[in-house]
Structure 1
Amino acid sequence: MLRIPFYSLTIFLLGLSSCRQPKGNIPSSTDIDALTLKKGKIISCGADQQFGLANLEMSCDKRSLADFRLAVSLLHSFEYDEAEKAFAKVIDETPGCSMAYWGVAMSNFHALWAPPAIAELKKGSKAIEIANSITNKTSREQAYIKAIDAYYAGWETVSHKERCKRYADAMEKLHAAYPSDKEAAAFYALSLVAAADPSDKTYTNQLKAGTILSALYPGQPDHPGIVHYIIHTYDYPEIAQHALTAARKYAGIAPSSAHALHMPSHIFTRLGLWDECIRSNQESVSSAQCYAEETKIGKHWDEELHGLDYLVYAYLQKGDNDAANRQLQYLNTIKEVKPTNFKVAYSFAAIPARILLENKDWKAAAQLLNTQTPVNWKEYPWQESITHFSRLLGAAHTRDLASATKELQILKALRDTLLRQNDSYKAQQVDVQILTGEAWIEFQSGKKDTALKRMIQAADLEDKTEKHPVTPGEILPARELLGDLLMEMNRYTEALSAYERSLKKNPARFNSLYGAALAASKTGNPERAASFARDLINQSPGSKRAEVLLARDLSRN
C-alpha cells in the first residue's frame, strides 16, 4: 500500500482547494444569474454599430476591452438596454471583471431620466455588491464603483434627488484624484447636470460641467458622451447657443443610436431651428421603429414616442398643421409601447393637446379625451394634468365656467398627489396650470384685475424653473398666455412686452411671433409689427393658417 507523507497530503489538498477558489473572488454563477442580465445581439439601426469611441480603461482581460468600450459608448448615448447587453457579454467572457458590474449598475441608473424602477434599483444594487466583492481591481476602478455605490446605497429610504447629489460628490472626488482620466471628467460633468437645482437660474452646475466638457472636446472629437453631455448641459434658453456645434456633431458620431439622432433637436428647439429639429426627429423616429422591429418586441419603443412629440412641436411652430395631424393620426394607431414609462405618458398626453391649443381650437380642447392609450394615467399625475389643463382652457374660452371649474378641481387634486409623492418640481408645473386656469375663469367671470394677477403669477412661477428634458416646451407658455390675456384687455403695449419675453425664452414660437406682430401694430408701430410678421412668414412657408395670411398684410407696412 502506497503511503503518502502527511505534509504532502496536506499540501495536495490545499492546492486542490485553491483551484476551487478562483483568484480575485470571481462571483458564482448563481450570483451572476440572479442579476437577470439583458443579453443578446447589440441592435444597430441606421449604421453598423457606429456609437462613437469611448476610452475607459479596465484591468480585466484585454480580450474583452473592445466589448467593454462598446458598452461604455452605448452608456454615453443612454442606450441603456444595449449597454447592459454589452456589459453582460464582458461578464460572460470575464466574470471577475469588476468594472463590467459597474457598467450594469450605470445602465440601470438613468441619470437624467426618471428615477429607476424598483427592479432596476435592485439589479444595480446587486451588481455593485458583486463589484465590491471582487478584489483584483485597481484603486481607480474602486473609485468608480464607490461613486455609483453612493447612488444605490439606501435607495429604499433616501430620495433619488439626494442620491444623485451623493453620486455627484463622489464623482467630484474621483475626478480630483484622477484628473487625467477623461472618462471620469465626462461622467462627473453629467453628474453635475443630474444634480442641478431646476430653479437655479444662475446655472452653477451646468456652467461648471460645460467648462469641463469644453476642455475635453478638442482632444476627443468622436467621443459620444462629451458632445451628448454638452447638449444636456446647455439645454436652457439663455445658454443653448453654446451647444449648437455639439448638436450638429452628435448624430454623426453615433448614427446607430436613436437617442443620438434625437438629442440635437433639444438645442434646435431652444434656438427655434425648426427645419433642423424636424430632420433630427424624423431620423430618430425611423431609427426607433427599426429598433423595435430588430428587437422583435412586437410593439413600439418608447424612444419613438419621445421623438414624435418633438416632431409635432416643430411642425406646429412652422404652422404645418397637416404634418402635425399626420403624426397624431399615427399616434392613435399605437396600442402597445415598451416600456410604457414617463416619456410615453407625456407624449400621449402632450401631442393631441398641443395641436388643439396651439391652434386655439377651444371647443375641441374642451372635449379632449385621452383614454385610448396604453397608459395607466394614475401612475402619471403630471402627464394626466395636461389633458385636464387643455379641457380647462377650452371650457373657459367657450364660457363653460362650470366645466372649467370642475377641471380646475381635478388639477388641484393631481397637484396634491404629486406633493404627497414628494415631487415638488412636477407639483409646481401643475401649479402653473392651476394659476393659468384660475386666470381665465376669473377673466370670463368679469374679474379682470384678479385674472391679470393670477396670470402674472403663473408666468413668474414658470419662469423660475426650467422645463423638464422630456418636453420640447410647455404645452402653452404662461408668458405667451399672459400676452393673450392682455390683448383681450386691449392693453397692447403690455401684451407686446409679454410676447417679447416669451420669444426670448422660446425663440421663433409661432403664436408669440404672431401675437407680437399684432400687438405692435395695435400700438402704432408698423415697423416692429412688420419685422415680427416677416419672421413668422419666413419660418412658415406653405402654411395654411389664417395667422400667416394676416401676417402678410402686417409685413407690408
Structure 2
Amino acid sequence: MKHFIVSATIITAVIFAVVYGRKQTPAVTTNGLVYCAPSFDPATIKAENAPVFEGLGNHHYKVTTRSEKAQQYFNQGLTLLYAFNHGEAGRSFKAAIALDSTCAMSWWGLAMVLGPNYNAALNPASLVEINEAVNNAMLFAKNTAPNEKALIAALRLRFPRTATSDLSPYSRAYAASMQKAQAQFPDDIDIAALYADALMNEHPWDLWMKDGTSRPWTPAIVTQLENLLVTAPLHAGANHMYIHAMEASGKPEAALASADRLRDLLPAAGHLVHMPAHIYIRTGDYSKGILTTEAAAVADSNYVVQCKVQGTYPLLYYPHNIHFLAACAYLAGNSKKALEAARSVSAHADSRYLDENVTLQHYYIIPFYVMVQTGKWQEILNLPEPAKTQLYPRAIWHYARGMAYTALDKINEAQNELASLKVIGKNEQLNEQLIWETNTAGQIVQIATSILTGELAADAGNFDLAEKSLRHAIGIEDGLMYQEPPDWFFSARHTLGHILLLAKKFPEAQKVYEEDLTKYPENGWALMGLYQSLVGQGKTSDAGAAKTRFDKAWTDADIEINSSRYY
C-alpha cells in the first residue's frame, strides 16, 4: 500500500507515554516488533529500557567501540532501523551510547532514527536531539574506520540546523554523499542498503505512476536494490525496501522472492513478517497473505503485551496487520476470518481518540465494510449509531444501513439512509480529513454514495442510472492514491459488473471484471462475474476456463456465491 506519510501533527494528536517498566535488559522472546515507522517522543527513549530481543537474526556491522555489549545494541538498532521500528531502534542506540559514549556510530544511529524516513516526515521537535547526535558522531569519528567516517560525513548533510519546510536539498545532498560512500566501499552491503534508503527517501511513496509506469528516479532505486540482493539475498533491509519499491509497480511479482524470504527471515520483527502481504495481495496469493498477516499479528501482539508498549504503536500501527488480514481473507472468500479480523481492527480503535483522528475512525468502521460485502444485514442494522462528531463513521454507517435495507427490499428505509448519507457528504470537513495522510474521507464517502445510488437505481430497473453511478464510483476509486489495503473496501467494479449482468450487457461486464482482475489478480469475486459474463455471451470454452480459475481461487472460502457481490 501507500502506507502513509505520517505527519507530526497527527501523531502528536494521539500519542501518549511510551513506557517499558523494565529495570534490566533481559533477552525478550517476542514475535513482534513493528508496523511501518512508528513515530515516537524522543524524550521517552530511555537507554535503561532497551531490551535485547531474540528472533532478530544475527546481522553484524562492526563499529568502533570499546564495549562488546554496545556493539550488540548497535547491531540490534541497525536491524530495527531496517525493520522501520525507529522507536525501538532509538532505545537500542541509546543503550549502546550509555555503554560507550564515544561510539560515534551509535550517535549516528540515533540521529538516523530520529530523522525522516520513508513513512514519516521530520518532526521539528527532534532537531535539537538530532543535531546533538550528529555533533557527537562527528566529534568521535576521528577514531573510527574509514567506512564509519563516510557514513558520518553523509549524515552531517542530512539535517538542517533549524526547522525548515523543505528538506529536499538536504535529502539530495545526503543521497549524493551516500553514493560517494558506496563508490568508496563497493563491497559494504550496509552502505549499499543505506544508499538505497537515501534514494527512496528523496521521493517517498512517489516511485510509480497510477498505471504502473516508473517515475524518472525509480529505475536507479530498483537497480540499486536488485544489485544488492544479488550480493546479499538475505539482507533484511534490502528485501524490505525492494518490496516497497515494487509493490505499486506494474510488476509486483518481481518482489515475490523477497516476499518469500522476508516472512521467515526475522520472526521477531512483526512488520517484516507482515511485509510480504504487500506483494501477495498484488499477485493474488491471498492464502499466503492470510498466513503472513496472521503470523505478524501474533508477533506484534506478543511485542505489545510483553514490552508493555503504549502510544502510537498499538493505536495505529499494530492494527494494520489485522486490517491486511481482513482484506486478504475477504478476497479469498473466507468471510468468517475477514469479519473476525475486521472486528479486531475496530477493537483497537481507541474511543478516546476517535473524534480527532480519521485513521482511527477508518479502523473503527472496517467491520461495516466487511458486513456489507458478506451480507450481514441484520448485524448492520443492529450497529450502534456513531457520534455526531464523527462524520466519516456516520456516513459509512448510513451507507451500510442503506445497503442492508436495499437487500432486504425495504426501499423507503434505504432511500432515507441515502438522503442522510448525501447530507453528510456535503460537509466540507470530510475533504480535509485524511486517512493515513493519503486519501480523504470525502472521497470514500463519495464512492459509498454513488454505490448506494446505483444499487437503488438498479432495484428500480433504471440500469442506465445505476451504471452511470457505479462508473462515477469507479472513477473516484481509481483516482485514490495507492494504499494497501485500499481505502475503499472493496472494488466498486464488483457491483458494476453485477448490474451490467442484470442489464444483460455481457461484453461490458466481461471488460469490467477483466479490469478488476488486473487490480486484484485471481480474486474469486471477479472470477465468478467473469464466468457469468462469458456464459451470457455463449463463450462456453472461455467460461469453463474462468470457472476452473474460480474453483481454485475459492478453495479456502467458507461462503458460496453466484455473483460478484454477495448481497
In the TM superposition, 1:75-474 aligns within 5 A as 75-97=81-103, 99-109=105-115, 111-113=117-119, 115=121, 121-122=124-125, 124-134=126-136, 135-136=138-139, 137=141, 140-150=150-160, 154=163, 158=165, 163=167, 165-166=168-169, 168-179=171-182, 180=186, 181-192=191-202, 194-196=204-206, 199=209, 201=211, 202-204=213-215, 205-236=217-248, 238-297=250-309, 301=314, 303-328=317-342, 330=344, 345-350=361-366, 352-361=367-376, 364-365=379-380, 368-369=383-384, 387=397, 390-391=400-401, 393-394=403-404, 399=411, 400-413=414-427, 416-419=429-432, 425-427=438-440, 430-431=442-443, 433-435=445-447, 437-438=449-450, 440-441=452-453, 444-445=456-457, 448-469=463-484, 471=485, 474=488
Are the counterparts in 2 of residues 270 and 506 from structure 1 also a CA contact under 8 Å? yes
AA aligned to 1:460 is G
| Alignment equivalent of 1:65, drawn from 65, 71, 93 | 71
AA aligned to 2:110 is V
| Alignment equivalent of 2:45, drawn from 23, 37, 41 | 37
CA distance in 1, matches of 2:118, 2:395: 22
The 3-state SS of whatever aligns with 1:194 is coil
Per-residue CA shift, 1:241-265, capped at 9, x if unaligned? 0100000001332222111111111
Are the counterparts in 1 of residues 477 and 492 from structure 2 also a CA contact under 8 Å? yes
CA distance in 1, matches of 2:351, 2:99: 33
CA distance in 2, matches of 1:337, 1:140: 47
The 3-state SS of whatever aligns with 1:475 is coil
Are the counterparts in 2 of residues 388 and 407 from structure 1 also a CA contact under 8 Å? yes
Are the counterparts in 1 of residues 498 and 529 from structure 2 also a CA contact under 8 Å? yes
Partner of 1:29: none
Structure 1 alignment gaps of length 5 or more: 1-32, 552-557
CA distance in 2, matches of 1:153, 1:338: 34
Structure 2 alignment gaps of length 5 or more: 1-40, 143-148
AA aligned to 2:127 is S
CA distance in 2, matches of 1:307, 1:486: 35
Q: How far did 1:206 drift?
A: 4.1
Instruction: Return the TM-score normalized by structure 2.
Output: 0.75
Q: How far did 1:233 drift?
A: 0.9
Q: How far did 1:170 drift?
A: 3.3
Q: How far did 1:99 drift?
A: 4.3
Partner of 2:531: 517
CA distance in 1, matches of 2:486, 2:436: 21
Per-residue CA shift, 1:417-461, capped at 9, x if unaligned? 44387998413x742541552354266356654543343243234
AA aligned to 2:228 is L
CA distance in 2, matches of 1:422, 1:444: 28
Are the counterparts in 2 of residues 285 and 308 from structure 1 also a CA contact under 8 Å? yes
Cα pair distance change 1:297/1:424, threshold 3 Å? closer
**Segments of 4+ in structure 1 off by > 6 A?**
337-343, 381-385, 420-424
The 3-state SS of whatever aligns with 1:547 is coil
The 3-state SS of whatever aligns with 2:206 is coil
Question: Superposition RMSD on alpha carbons, in Å?
Answer: 3.8
Per-residue CA shift, 1:69-119, capped at 9, x if unaligned? 321111101122321110111221233555434433443456343557xxx
Partner of 1:555: none
Are the counterparts in 1 of residues 151 and 178 from structure 2 also a CA contact under 8 Å? no
The 3-state SS of whatever aligns with 2:439 is helix
Are the counterparts in 1 of residues 290 and 325 from structure 2 also a CA contact under 8 Å? yes
CA distance in 1, matches of 2:492, 2:481: 13
Are the counterparts in 1 of residues 314 and 348 from structure 2 also a CA contact under 8 Å? no
Are the counterparts in 2 of residues 432 and 478 from structure 1 also a CA contact under 8 Å? no
CA distance in 1, matches of 2:474, 2:56: 43
| Alignment equivalent of 2:516, drawn from 480, 498, 502 | 502
The alignment status of 1:547 with 2:538, answered yes or no, reads no
CA distance in 1, matches of 2:57, 2:358: 25
Instruction: Return the TM-score normalized by structure 1.
Output: 0.76
Partner of 2:493: 479
Higher alpha-carbon Rg = 1
| Alignment equivalent of 2:56, drawn from 50, 60, 76 | 50
The 3-state SS of whatever aligns with 2:517 is helix
Cα pair distance change 1:393/1:174, threshold 3 Å? farther
CA distance in 1, matches of 2:305, 2:437: 38
Cα pair distance change 1:345/1:212, threshold 3 Å? farther
Cα pair distance change 1:472/1:426, threshold 3 Å? closer
AA aligned to 1:515 is G
Q: How far did 1:51 drift?
A: 3.9
Cα pair distance change 1:173/1:409, threshold 3 Å? farther
CA distance in 2, matches of 1:224, 1:264: 12
Are the counterparts in 2 of residues 105 and 148 from structure 1 also a CA contact under 8 Å? no
Identical aligned pairs, as a percentage? 17
Cα pair distance change 1:442/1:328, threshold 3 Å? closer
Cα pair distance change 1:108/1:343, threshold 3 Å? farther
CA distance in 2, matches of 1:433, 1:36: 38
Per-residue CA shift, 1:252-300, capped at 9, x if unaligned? 3222211111111111111111221121112111111211221134899
The 3-state SS of whatever aligns with 1:285 is helix
Cα pair distance change 1:233/1:439, threshold 3 Å? same
Are the counterparts in 2 of residues 492 and 523 from structure 1 also a CA contact under 8 Å? yes
Greater shift after overlay, 34-43 or 124-133?
Answer: 34-43
Are the counterparts in 2 of residues 74 and 82 from structure 1 also a CA contact under 8 Å? yes
AA aligned to 1:453 is K
Are the counterparts in 1 of residues 470 and 496 from structure 2 also a CA contact under 8 Å? yes
Per-residue CA shift, 1:148-184, capped at 9, x if unaligned? 415x9535xx2xxx54x55642343123322333133
